Amino acid sequence: MTDLIFVLNGPNLNLLGTREPEIYGHDTLDDIAAMLDDQAREAGAEIDFRQSNHEGHLIDWLHEAQAEGAKAVLLNAAGYTHTSIALLDAIKAIKVPVFEVHLSDPHAREEFRHLSYVGMGAKAVFAGHGAKSYQLALDVALQV
Ligand code: CA2
């Protein structure tokens, strides 16, 4: 069976490429989806790439990843990374490994970004490399 990787993106990431390129880079979310699609296809895998501005959607999708038998989830929960115990609970509630992804390096930014609830449940964290953070995470996720 083809390996399936869910790639879930949180609030405001739909605006990527339109503002603050010095922090988040010039790639749009569609650019990142296309890169990951190619990378997954070359490895004989498949990605399911989604974005939502709503916390509950991200939680439902984590449950869905488990129900669909996904091999791994790459999760950039954006601002919810630093606030959401509900997302942490969802990560802990599924057996699918979750990899935390960030374009920027939250630890090199404001203090309030240093706390990550997602990180408390994630298998590993990839941050600070722009779109490449997703590619590095996918590379590792495909090997678990
Ligand atoms: O660096 C990341 O990937 C973040 O998850 C991005 C979040 C931020 O709250 C996290 O601390 C780190 C913010 C996403 C906002 O997305 C934007 C996209 C385009 C323009 C402005 C913001």
Cα separation, 105 vs 113, in Å, equals 9
pLDDT in tens, the chain (144 residues): 899 999 999 999 999 998 888 999 899 999 999 999 999 999 999 999 999 999 999 999 999 999 999 999 999 999 999 999 999 999 999 999 999 999 999 999 999 999 999 999 999 999 999 999 999 999 999 998
| Ligand 1 site, residue 12, Cβ cutoff 6 A | yes
Residue of 111, 75, 110, 68 lying closest to 90 (CA atoms): 75
| Ligand 1 site, residue 141, Cβ cutoff 6 A | no
- 92 CB contacts (<8 Å, ≥6 apart)? 121
Q: What are the start-end ranges of the E strands in 39-106?
A: 45-51, 72-76, 98-102
Residue 143 corresponds to which tokens in the numbers above? 């090997």
Residue 24 annotated as catalytic = yes
Residue of 57, 79, 70, 68 lying closest to 99 (CA atoms): 70
Contact between 117 and 85 under an 8 Å Cβ cutoff? The reply is yes
For position 19, what pLDDT does the model report? 87
| Ligand 1 site, residue 114, Cβ cutoff 6 A | no
What number of residues does the chain have?
A: 144
Residue 82 annotated as catalytic = no
3-state SS assignment for residue 36? helix
Residue 15 corresponds to which tokens in the numbers above? 């605006």
Gap from CA of 94 to ligand 1 centroid (Å): 25
